[in-house]
Structure 1
Amino acid sequence: MDTPEILRRSFPDWDVETDHPAAYVSETGDAVQALMYSYLIWPALIERHGAVFLALDGNESEDFAERMGRPTPFVHPDWPALSWVDYVASFNFYEVPHLFRMLRGPAEVYDPSHEALGVVLREAWAARLAAAYPDRRFAVDLLENDGTMALRIVVRQTFPELVAPEGYDPRRRGIIAGPSGA
């Protein structure tokens, strides 16, 4: 199902003259709503320990510092070590259906609308990362629902290779402060 069909089914009583989303935006949206959603299209970026993170929640700087500095206190013997690259990726994945709590339109448009939005966000985020970090390369992938997680976008830096910061413990999944507290 393409975007025009999703919009027609979501607003069946509307008589719009074009299939372009602008026809719907001009009737339902305003500049304040556009600003509310702008962070999804052009997200803030945070760099920590040489890794780039998308900031979609608004308080990532503090959350990331706290989460990175609080290694898992208990390590189960069956848990595999988590590389720095995979640890960074664990911060940089977003399940598309979970970005919004409200559902609009008939149920048959939910999955197609999430897929269409995922394509737009993947392209926008790739452009955002390329503009902000022209000397780095990123993979921005849209991954299908696999039964454990919903449709999601995963961002990984592919060049240069990420290097784990001093004190990163792959078993405890966090940065353990050294004797100086750093």
Structure 2
Amino acid sequence: MPERQDPVAVLQSAHPEVSAESGPEWLAEVGGVIEAIPYRWLYWPEIVQVRGAVFVDLHGAGRDTYDARLASAVESGHPDRGGEAWTALVDSFNYFEVSEIFRRWGGPQASLEDSQLALAELLLEPWRARLAQAAPDRRFRVAVAEPTPELGVCVEVRQTSPALTPPAGW
């Protein structure tokens, strides 16, 4: 598990010219109403349920896109696939590279991994709450994956119970 990052320390490192010392002070000092509105979807993302699986729709793809992609995977398969392959496919849709969430990264890049880790950690609690609200009959593991050189920092969402059941035709 990656080392936990203090988000205020990350902000202070990136912007030493700002004198804020707490999260609320940072919000008041550098935040803005219009800039804040898009963050609703980051901290309280849409949840899509398709073919018995739950997806965090962070990128706004929508139910039809998930259904089409899953239909393609079901149709292209062979009969010896099992439940583990279905679970791996669903999990692959619920794996988010923090570096891919934004098109731009502001501020100094010296502590990019620290910044990404701080953001990833801040997403865990609201995503857990969102999943519990949207799918109260299911349990999920929401965690920061171990960073890799290829993908960087990632957040993974996995349904832990009940076990995922492959759809007909899988």
Q: Distance in 2 between matches of 1:33 and 1:7?
A: 17
- TM-score of the superposed pair, with normalisation by structure 2: 0.83
Q: Distance in 1 between matches of 2:140 and 2:18?
A: 41
For the aligned residues, what is the CA RMSD?
2.3
1:10 matched to 2:10: no
Percent of pairs with identical residues:
33
SS of the equivalent of 1:150 reads coil
The 5 Å alignment of 1:6-155 reads 6-16=10-20, 19-71=21-73, 83-155=85-157
* CA spacing shift, 1:106–1:148, aligned 2, 3 Å: closer
Cα distance per residue 1:104-163 (max 9 Å; x no partner): 222223111110111111222112112222221111121122233221111111111111
Q: Structure 1: which 4+ aligned runs deviate by more than 4 Å?
A: 72-75
Q: Specify the code of the residue in structure 1 equivalent to 2:13.
A: R
**Given that residues 113 and 152 in structure 2 are in contact (C-alpha distance below 8 angstroms), is that contact kept between their aligned partners in structure 1?**
no
Number of positions where the alignment pairs a residue of Structure 1 with one of Structure 2: 162
* CA spacing shift, 1:15–1:71, aligned 2, 3 Å: closer
Q: Specify the code of the residue in structure 2 equivalent to 1:96.
A: V
Residue 92 (structure 1) shift? 0.6
Cα distance per residue 1:56-76 (max 9 Å; x no partner): 11123232122112239988x
Q: Distance in 2 between matches of 1:117 and 1:124?
A: 12
Q: Specify the code of the residue in structure 2 equivalent to 1:144.
A: E
* Runs of 5+ consecutive residues of structure 2 not aligned to the other structure: none
Q: Specify the code of the residue in structure 2 equivalent to 1:62.
A: D
- TM-score of the superposed pair, with normalisation by structure 1: 0.79
Q: Distance in 2 between matches of 1:13 and 1:158?
A: 44
